[in-house]
Amino acid sequence: MSTVQSIDRAFAVLRTLASGPAGVTEIAERVGLPKSTVSRLLSTLEELGAVEQESAGGDYRTGAAMIELAAAAQPGRSLISIARPHLAELTRLTGEAAGVSIPDGLEMFYIDQLTPNSELQVRDWTGTRIPMHAVPSGQVVLATDAELLHRLVARRLVPFTAHTLTTAAALRARIAEVQREGYAWAFEEFADGLNSVAAAVHNTAGKVVAAVHVYGPASRFPGHHDPAELGRMVRATAAKIRID
């Protein structure tokens, strides 16, 4: 196989994964290549960080290296640089960590976070992928994409805590609430002792392309603050972030 042909085939595989995770057989069918060839390409791309597997023997998805390259494609106009001042304002107003994430298949990929100095620090989730059903950032994306929601509830909703939404009925009820309010709250649904609230970020065409979230220890967040007021604050901040 020539070098040029290998590159062409690798790009074909990456374009296929841009629409969501897929297995070797599905990818091979989409790009019209033998499974053995696709398997070798995926192995190489995985070593480079361009793709990764959801689990051992599971579907492949776009890797962190490709997302980082995409963000760098427009210097000064990346989502991170656009969102940073707004995250800083949320952190100042709430005293809690604020971050931004983007949808990647049926997961949210956390790309940036600002954490204020405090006695009780929270983890920096930057570079982490979390299933959409378990976090408010994913729920605000699902609230605008019926097809994505249908795909998700067709799978097993993995529990992370005793409060994780693990049934289709519970998740659909939450999504209906998000559609009414424009923001989502999660109380210890992904991690014990951690509460968070999120709202969607739209591009100029009106499509949801990211989510902004604020989170902190359940012992103090939301604390004495009105959850609805905080939700509206995050929603208003997300509306200020406009992506081309």
Amino acid, res. 191: A
CA torsion through residues 54, 55, 56, 58, sign: negative
Q: In the structure, what pLDDT confidence band is assigned to residue 169 with cuts at 50, 70 and 90? A: very high
71 contacts: CB under 8 Å, gap ≥ 6: 78, 79, 80, 111
- What lies within 8 Å, CB to CB, of 39 at 6+ separation is 24
Could you please report the per-residue DSSP string of 135-148?
A: SHHHHHHHTT-HHH
Note the pLDDT of residue 72. 57
pLDDT tens digits for 92-122? 999 999 999 999 889 999 988 888 876 666 7
Asked if pLDDT for residue 75 goes beyond 50, the answer is no
pTM over 0.75: no
Contacts of 159 by beta carbon, 8 Å cutoff, 6+ apart: 166
Give the confidence band of 165 by pLDDT, cuts at 50, 70, 90: very high
pLDDT of 62 > 90? The answer is no
Tokens of 145: 């994409």
- Give the side-chain half-sphere CA count within 13 A for 68: 9
User: Confidence class of residue 41 from pLDDT cuts 50, 70 and 90?
Assistant: very high
Cis peptide before 222 (omega within 30 of 0): yes
Euclidean distance between CA atoms 183 and 212, whole angstroms: 10
153 or 124: whose pLDDT is higher?
153
The answer, yes or no, to whether residue 148 has pLDDT greater than 80, is yes
Q: Residue 136: what pLDDT?
A: 98
Q: Which residue has the higher pLDDT, 105 or 74?
A: 105
Query: Among candidates 5, 16, 20, 13, which has minimal Cα distance to 147?
Result: 20
Answer whether residue 228 shows pLDDT above 60.
yes
Instruction: Write down all domains in the chain, each with its CATH number in brackets.
Output: 3-63 (1.10.10.10), 74-240 (3.30.450.40)
Q: Which residues contact 6 (CB under 8 A, 6 or more apart)?
A: 41
Per-residue pLDDT at 156 exceeds 80:
yes
Give dist(CA 123, CA 65) in Å, integer. 22
Of 42-56, 68-82, 149-163, the range with the highest mean pLDDT is: 149-163
pLDDT of res. 178? 97
